[in-house]
Structure 1
Amino acid sequence: MSSAKTSISTLDDIIELINWIPEDVDSICIMVSNFDESEGAGNVAIRQIEALQDAGYQCSVATFETNASIQPDNEIILSSDTSRSITSQNIDRLLYAFSPAHILKASLELRQYDLLVVHQPVLCPIALATKQFHNSETVYYNHHITWPSEKSGTIGKIFGYTGYLPLLYASSRLDHVVSVSIHSMGDYKKLFSKTGPVIYNSIDERVYNTDVDGSEIRRKYGLDDSALILFVGRIAESKQVHQLICAYKDVLREVPEAKLIIVGRSENDDYLDRLKKLATSTNGEVIFTGVVPEDDLPKFYAAADVYASCSIKEGFNLTIAEAEACGTPTVAYDIGAHSEVMENGMLVQPNRKDEFAGAIIETIQTRI
């Protein structure tokens, strides 16, 4: 178990991106699967569009799904059916990515833009076609790489080799690649021997800061003075929320009044049901809030005594930076870019649940 060392530049990521953009670019389209503050890549895309518009660029978005509070210059909805399950949507998007008809149609809509910034592999074939047929400048924004062997289940691994890798290969044929961390850049270079600048994600310190008051959240959920452990993110198996709940059960032996709040959207109802059953077995109090308004997130961080993540796959992990900006210490596994992101927290070797629980207990006791 170790404390993280600070290695992140204090330069604003948006300023770095703007400085990197070629001089002859006037119009930009940000391509992201979900244009939504509650999604990691979506959140980054939203901040990029706001800043690029402020800098005088015409900035639009191409997406499958939009649920953002900002207004880009134009929205291109590639294909959307939000009424279906997450799994069905992902299958539809994969089929879309390999459909020549859809690719050509989308490239015709995107040819008006000087620069395409692509945030996910599933959108790379469209950007590649737009580059080849219409000479648009293209950049792949590399958040992280999930190796096919790391996919869960047989179907997941089959998808990794037959679907994900070909899409990722398309990203390597774009003009440029920008990575959000040194770790992500290293993974990308292993696959394609191609590299580019590292531009760390940053947060809006006007929103996430130590002046935020978390008392409203404590009142709303009846927390009083209880120690609060917080997780924010997708409710997905790769985030290992089940392991966090198990660690919470261990924490209760030393801090019996501790509560756990889990904020985020579930990708799988079966997994969520499993988590809720597991939560019941802790004899503690685990609160699943679902998706919360973006404006409330800083209040959740400020209300917490410790932010904890058992995730085993992260290219950056913006929530750690957000929590720490609000003055909340963090505990996470020493994976991916966590050692680059974390400034005020403790890193634990992956899947050492007892040590993870111990780090949470130590952090809480330091805060009391």
Structure 2
Amino acid sequence: MDDPINSVSRISFLGDNQFSEFIREVLPGDPSQHAIVILISYFLKSEGASRVAEFQARELSKRGYSVIVYTFESDIDPIGYNVRIIDSWVQKYASRLNVLYRALFPFNLWKALKISLDLKKSSLIIVHQETLVIVAYFAKLFYHTQVIYWHHHIAESRFLPLKVRLYKVAISPFNWKKIKKFDQVVSISNHSKAILQHEKGIESIVIYDEIDSSRFNRNNVDEEPIRTKYHIGSDDPVILFVGRIVPTKNIHSLIVAFKIVKICLPNVKLIVVGKSYDNQYSEDLARACDLSVIFAGFVSDEELPYYYAACDVYATCSLVEGFNMPLVEAQACGKPVVAFDIGPHREVIKNGFLVDEGDIVEFGNAIIKIFSTNMIP
């Protein structure tokens, strides 16, 4: 376990540039003269890449750009921009084939050409995820539209389910050949940048994911609503985790570390916020816990700051990250954090502890140390 990283008054990550400055460099002049298209497979409140794309869409529209998001599926209410759903007969008549349809979309050349024609007058296309790379490629090829690929992360194969590994072998190379022809590639951390260069031989610039500082800060939220909702005493210590409920988030290890903390702090609570993507894994987690572990399910961005306000420590045992936005949000809300020393965590942790990967005992001890020192705000 490293020594605690000093607390800072403002959490800031500059990377090579910041998003709004970067766009002004790419599209100089009057924003009202430019149309920007964002392509993303899923535009959902529960998806990390979607949160980044949503931030970009809102930020660009506020600055005067015309913004349209093209996606297969969305549950996000657009504010200042438009969302267009890419429909298909599969969605209407065979919904179970949706995943396969989207995976094979790079070979749906006719549909991709039709969509690219709609983008003919766009000044810029930002592509998140690989699925719609072919659309951006055609727009660049035929209409000379500028294209940026927003690279979130390349996970190690050992962490991927079989169907994703098959996708990487059979389809992903087709997409990366196109990405290499784009005008720019952006990575969300230096860690992801290094992996991209090593795995694909592609250079990129780093622009860290940005959070909504008007929402996630230490000044404007109250902890009482969450403590009242879950009947948590005002003096009960609270540990928080936010993220998808999947094995790579390693929540089972976090629960083991929590039990170590509970030996010293019997009234401690653990709140796990996030949507389940693996029913069996979620059921196994629930069986391993008592009532001191609270599974809150999916929580909207509007409500999420109240959870950060209610916690004393934010903790994650995640094994795979490209950036880890909840770590940044928690620190912006003034909370110390504990995480394994993996991926980009040395880049994003400003206030808390880094623990050697897999050392659950030290992880639990780091949380205890925070409670026993003056690191709690």
Is the TM-score greater than 0.5? Answer: yes
Q: Give the structure 2 partner of residue 103 of structure 1.
A: 112
Q: Quote how far apart the aligned CAs of 1:149 are.
A: 4.2
Say whether residues 1:348 and 2:355 are aligned partners.
yes
| SS of residue matched to 1:248 | helix
Say whether residues 1:317 and 2:324 are aligned partners.
yes
C-alpha distance in structure 2 between counterparts of 1:101 and 1:27, whole Å: 24
Q: Give the structure 1 partner of residue 284 of structure 2.
A: 274
Say whether residues 1:178 and 2:186 are aligned partners.
yes
Q: Give the structure 2 partner of residue 232 of structure 1.
A: 242
Q: Give the structure 2 partner of residue 61 of structure 1.
A: 69
1:39-118 to 2 correspondences below 5 Å:
39-79=47-87, 89-118=98-127
| SS of residue matched to 2:205 | coil
Please tell me whether the aligned partners of residues 338 and 352 of structure 2 are also in contact (alpha carbons under 8 angstroms): yes
Deviations 1:213-237 (A, max 9, x none): 1111111111112111111111111
More off after superposition, 172-181 vs 214-223: 172-181
Query: RMSD between aligned alpha carbons?
Result: 2.6
TM-score normalised over the length of structure 2: 0.88
C-alpha distance in structure 1 between counterparts of 2:87 and 2:255, whole Å: 36
C-alpha distance in structure 1 between counterparts of 2:301 and 2:364, whole Å: 28
C-alpha distance in structure 1 between counterparts of 2:142 and 2:194, whole Å: 31
TM-score normalised over the length of structure 1: 0.90
C-alpha distance in structure 1 between counterparts of 2:167 and 2:288, whole Å: 29
C-alpha distance in structure 2 between counterparts of 1:83 and 1:330, whole Å: 46
Q: What amino acid does structure 2 have at the position aligned with 1:354?
A: V
Q: What amino acid does structure 2 have at the position aligned with 1:92?
A: Y
Please tell me whether the aligned partners of residues 305 and 328 of structure 1 are also in contact (alpha carbons under 8 angstroms): yes
CA distance change for structure 1 residues 165 and 70 in 2, over 3 Å: closer, same or farther? same
Q: Give the structure 2 partner of residue 134 of structure 1.
A: 143
Please tell me whether the aligned partners of residues 124 and 170 of structure 1 are also in contact (alpha carbons under 8 angstroms): yes
Please tell me whether the aligned partners of residues 252 and 284 of structure 1 are also in contact (alpha carbons under 8 angstroms): no
Q: What amino acid does structure 1 have at the position aligned with 2:13?
A: I
Deviations 1:180-207 (A, max 9, x none): 1111111111133332321112222211
Residue of structure 2 aligned with 1:265, choices 275, 288, 299: 275
Residue of structure 1 aligned with 2:366, choices 329, 347, 359: 359
Q: What amino acid does structure 2 have at the position aligned with 1:270?
A: Q
| SS of residue matched to 2:245 | coil
Q: Give the structure 1 partner of residue 24 of structure 2.
A: 19
Say whether residues 1:291 and 2:287 are aligned partners.
no
Q: Give the structure 2 partner of residue 329 of structure 1.
A: 336
Q: Quote how far apart the aligned CAs of 1:45 are.
A: 1.2
Count of aligned residue pairs for this structure pair: 363
C-alpha distance in structure 2 between counterparts of 1:123 and 1:163, whole Å: 12
C-alpha distance in structure 1 between counterparts of 2:59 and 2:317, whole Å: 32
Deviations 1:63-122 (A, max 9, x none): 12212233353322124859999x965433212233223322322233332211011122
CA distance change for structure 1 residues 326 and 84 in 2, over 3 Å: closer, same or farther? farther
Q: Quote how far apart the aligned CAs of 1:292 are.
A: 1.6
Please tell me whether the aligned partners of residues 12 and 202 of structure 1 are also in contact (alpha carbons under 8 angstroms): no
C-alpha distance in structure 2 between counterparts of 1:348 and 1:122, whole Å: 35
CA distance change for structure 1 residues 273 and 166 in 2, over 3 Å: closer, same or farther? farther
Among all aligned residue pairs of Structure 1 and Structure 2, give the percentage whose two residues are the same amino acid. Answer: 37
C-alpha distance in structure 2 between counterparts of 1:245 and 1:270, whole Å: 16
Deviations 1:262-297 (A, max 9, x none): 111111212211221122xxx452111111222110
Deviations 1:21-55 (A, max 9, x none): 23377110112222234322111111111111122
CA distance change for structure 1 residues 101 and 35 in 2, over 3 Å: closer, same or farther? same
| SS of residue matched to 1:294 | coil
| SS of residue matched to 1:158 | helix
Q: Give the structure 2 partner of residue 201 of structure 1.
A: 209
CA distance change for structure 1 residues 119 and 215 in 2, over 3 Å: closer, same or farther? same
Q: Give the structure 1 partner of residue 254 of structure 2.
A: 244
More off after superposition, 319-328 vs 89-98: 89-98
Q: What amino acid does structure 1 have at the position aligned with 2:359?
A: R
Please tell me whether the aligned partners of residues 71 and 85 of structure 2 are also in contact (alpha carbons under 8 angstroms): yes
Structure 2 unaligned regions, length at least 5: none
| SS of residue matched to 2:214 | coil
CA distance change for structure 1 residues 197 and 269 in 2, over 3 Å: closer, same or farther? same
| SS of residue matched to 1:122 | coil
Q: What amino acid does structure 2 have at the position aligned with 1:232?
A: V
CA distance change for structure 1 residues 197 and 157 in 2, over 3 Å: closer, same or farther? closer
Please tell me whether the aligned partners of residues 265 and 291 of structure 1 are also in contact (alpha carbons under 8 angstroms): yes
Say whether residues 1:217 and 2:226 are aligned partners.
yes
Q: Quote how far apart the aligned CAs of 1:363 are.
A: 1.8
| SS of residue matched to 1:30 | strand
CA distance change for structure 1 residues 21 and 84 in 2, over 3 Å: closer, same or farther? farther
Q: What amino acid does structure 2 have at the position aligned with 1:94?
A: A
Q: Give the structure 1 partner of residue 132 of structure 2.
A: 123
More off after superposition, 14-23 vs 139-148: 14-23
